[in-house]
Amino acid sequence: MKIAIIIALVVIAFLVFVASRPSQYRVERSTTIAAPAAVVFPQINDLHKAAVWSPWLKIDPNVKVAYEGAAAGVGAVSTWAGNSEIGEGRQTIVESKADALVRIKLEFIKPMVGVATTDFTLTSEGGKIRVTWSMYGDNNFIGKIFCLFMNQDKMIGTPFEKGLADLKALTETGVK
């Protein structure tokens, strides 16, 4: 009986601890690119082009990607279905300001259901462009548990760094 009470108290304490964790998260990485915003922006604003430098699709060479809606900018949509590492989901460009911002609504279907927002902001910095890639949203209770055991900043931030490096290499090529 004492063991059952101790286990129940441990479980309750764990649940209270999880509930007390912050629900909002934000992961952000930046790089500076020696290319004009007019060269960088189209690579982000067109989901077809983003597939070339985005790290996520490179994880699963057999991923199935489909596009719908606008060719680029607001209303452009891509869906993906891949292995267990990238799961399944949908992204929709919901805001686009030329040479300044692309905001994307991310809807995750598998392995966990969730919604997040991704921003790409471009700012001029000494003749170069600083591109900041951020993802933010709210964790539900299951997401809070997941984040206790996984480093969310590293899990998202490391691929962001790779993607920004590939975007930099792609857009700086041929730019003098």
**Model's pTM, two decimal places?**
0.83
| Residue 17 resides in a domain | no
Residue 8: inside a domain: no
pLDDT tens string, the chain, 176 residues long: the values are 888 888 777 777 777 776 777 777 888 999 999 999 999 999 999 999 988 898 988 888 899 999 999 999 999 999 999 998 889 999 999 999 999 999 999 999 998 788 999 999 999 988 899 999 999 987 776 666 666 666 677 778 899 999 999 999 999 985 54
Structural domain for 125, as ranges:
25-172
Answer yes or no: is 143 within a domain. yes
Nearest C-alpha neighbor of 116 from the set 21, 44, 47, 28:
28
Token output for 157: 């931030």
Q: Is residue 79 part of a domain?
A: yes
CB 124, CB 15: distance < 8 Å? no
| 125 within some domain | yes
Instruction: State the burial class of residue 126 (Cβ atoms within 10 Å of its Cβ: 0-12, 13-18, 19+).
Output: exposed
Does 110 fall in a domain?
A: yes
* 2 in any annotated domain: no
Q: How many domains does the chain have?
A: 1
Supply the CATH number for residue 153's domain: 3.30.530.20
| Domain-located, residue 11 | no
